[in-house]
Amino acid sequence: MDLLETQASHAGISCEIMPSGASHDSAVFANAGVPSVMVFVRNDKGSHNPHEAMEFSDFFAGAEVLSRALWEAANLTGEIPS
């Protein structure tokens, strides 16, 4: 979770840390002792809240945070591509 939050900060993307009560695949991983996190993006077509409409900029921001975190977690050398 810290990695995602750090990468969001480095990219200038605001984020909110929140628990999820939903039973996603991450619950199965967590029960097996595998740490996991989820990146949620606003989406009026798939969200439970009609006020959470996804703009493409929201989608790209979520993808950028995930990409940066994976790049960092893989411990790759060099600059994170933008």
Cβ-proximal residues to 61 (8 Å cutoff; 6+ apart), any chain: 11, 13, 41
pLDDT tens, 20-70? 776 678 888 888 998 788 888 877 777 667 777 788 888 899 999 999 998
Secondary structure (3-state) at 18: coil
pTM of the entire structure? 0.69
> Are the beta carbons of 57 and 12 closer than 8 angstroms?
no
pLDDT tens, 10-25? 889 888 888 777 667 8
| Residue 69 CB burial class (10 angstroms; 0-12, 13-18, ≥19) | buried
